[in-house]
Structures are given as structure tokens and as C-alpha cells.
Amino acid sequence: MYSLAENLSILSGDPYFGVHVGSQLDPLSWSPLATAAESSSTVGEFLLRFMENANHDENSVIYSLSSVGSRSTFYERRVTDGGLTPRHNDGFTIAFLVTLIRRSVGELWDGARVTANVCDPAAVPEVYLGVRTAITDTLGPSISFPTNWLIQPLPGRNLGVTKESVSAVSPPSRTFINALHVTLQPHIHEFDLSAHRVAEICGLNKRTMARRLQTRGTSLRKELKRLRMSRAEATLLGTNLPISEVALMIGYANPTVFSRAFKRWTGVSPRQYRAKQ
């Protein structure tokens, strides 16, 4: 995997390949995180439950959380050393963890108060959501942040988030919804994601799919919105791609239509969102 990531970075001409891939993932597409989000009320509880769940799902790394005074650090430690410098694997993990922490703490997020520890800081953009980078060993990256973030309520639970709000830890996280998200991720760029097309992709009858979504208090329209919102945010923040390309990546042929939709979702235009963050 280390060699693959390094070669893909070279072939694509992208020195931040790992970061760009990791920043486009939906954290809740991994069941240990989805289950933790569903049963947690604070950021700290969320991370602790994730560590417990991941222990049953992943055996190549060990997750840990350490708090010393006003600073806490969340670690991913590899069980073995592959003999190669895992630059882009570290970048991937940091992008994933930054997305996870940023969306967990919501409005409290301040990149200047976060430090990403990686084996090679050159694999992370100099300006990545304001996060500082530091060098660590090759056994795994970590992310350090203020301890008081751990006691904050998760968005969508105690913060009174509305039904239309979108958050990586607030959407319906039942197994069927997670499976739907994972299945649709590779197709989110398609312009014709109708109910019929989605049912075809999932191998379901259209009525069956609609009924399953309804029993879980959601709809295909809402889930597609969540997926597109998540992908748009991550791409705007993790890359310098033009707005028109970001629009195409999430199924909008017209960048103006995308910008209007994004403003309805977030209250600001894509350019304003990127500049603000």
C-alpha cells in the first residue's frame, strides 16, 4: 500500500495525493465510525466508542486517545513497519482525521489550534484548513487539539440542528443508510441519479428502496444531498480545483446551478466557503 500510494502520487503529479483522497471520503462510510456516532452524545464519547468498535474491525493499526492538560491527541499506530516511508498514507489518515474532528466539533473548529503529526510534512499542503504540521516517526500519524473539544455535544444531538442540516456525524447512520452511501459514492458525479437509476445501482426495486428510506425517516433526495454536500465541502477545502470541476464531481453540469444549491445548503457561495475556511 505504501508503494502504491507513492506511485500514484508520482503518476498523477500530485504531491499531496494522500491528503486529496482522504479529504474526499465520508467518515461515516466506515461502520465503526457510523455506529459510534449513532450512540454517542459528545465528541469524546464518539472517539472512545470508535476506538472500541475499530478494534473488532481493523487489526493492522491501533487507535488511542491521550489527554495531557489542555491538549489531547488522537493516534493511529501501525502494528508493523513496512520498511518504506508512508508519506501519503500519513497524509490520507490526517485528512480523514481532520474531517472527522472538524465535523465533530462543528463551529468550535479552529485549524490554528490543531497540529497534525506526520512522518513527512511535505506530503501535507502548507495551508490545509489552517492546521500546523510536525514530524513524527513512521509508525503512524496523530492529530492534536484542545482537550475541551472532547466534552462538546455532537452536532445534531444536543445542539438543536434542524432536519435539513448536514453533518458527518448527524445523518441517519443505520446499516442500510451506510450501505447506500458507500454504494452511491462512486456514482455521485452522474447527472441522472434518479430513483430508478439508484434502485438499479443498488439492485433493489424502486418501491422497496423508497419504503426502506421512509422507515428510517429519510428519503433518497435527502441522502443524495448529504453525499453531495459532503463531497463538495471536502473537495473545496482539500483541493484548489475550479468551482466548475467541483460541480462536475458531484453531478452538476452547470456551475451556476451548483453554486446556488451550495449557497442554499451552507448560506455562502462555494468561493466564500473556501475563502472563509
pLDDT digits (tens, 9 = 90+) for 86-132: 889 999 999 988 988 888 888 788 888 999 999 999 999 877 888 99
Q: Does 127 map to a domain?
A: yes
Q: Alpha-carbon distance 219 to 212, whole Å?
A: 9
The residue-averaged pLDDT of 197-215 equals 86
| Number of residues written out for the chain | 277
Alpha-helical regions (H) of 185-219: 195-202, 206-215
pLDDT at 65: 93
pLDDT at 270: 93
User: Measuring CA to CA, which residue among 217, 8, 22, 216 is closest to residue 116?
Assistant: 22
The residue-averaged pLDDT of 2-23 equals 86
Q: Are residues 134 and 15 in the same domain?
A: yes
pLDDT at 254: 92
Q: Alpha-carbon distance 123 to 86, whole Å?
A: 10
Q: Which DSSP category does 194 fall into? A: -
Q: Are residues 67 and 180 in the same domain?
A: no
User: How many structural domains compose the chain?
Assistant: 2
Q: Are residues 145 and 188 in the same domain?
A: no
Q: Are residues 206 and 263 in the same domain?
A: yes
Q: Are residues 17 and 88 in the same domain?
A: yes
Write out the residue range of the structural domain in which residue 100 sits.
2-151
pLDDT at 257: 93
Q: Does residue 84 have a pLDDT over 90?
A: no
Q: Are residues 48 and 98 in the same domain?
A: yes
Q: Alpha-carbon distance 51 to 61, whole Å?
A: 11
Q: Are residues 185 and 269 in the same domain?
A: yes
Rg for the chain (alpha carbons), in Å? 19
Mapped onto helix, strand or coil, the DSSP state of residue 250 is: coil
Contact 185, 195 (CB under 8 A): no
pLDDT digits (tens, 9 = 90+) for 17-44: 999 888 888 777 777 888 888 888 899 9
Task: Pick 171 or 134 by higher pLDDT.
Answer: 134
pTM of the model: 0.56
Cell of 84: 518504506
Task: Pick 3 or 257 by higher pLDDT.
Answer: 257
Domain boundary among 136, 151, 166: 151
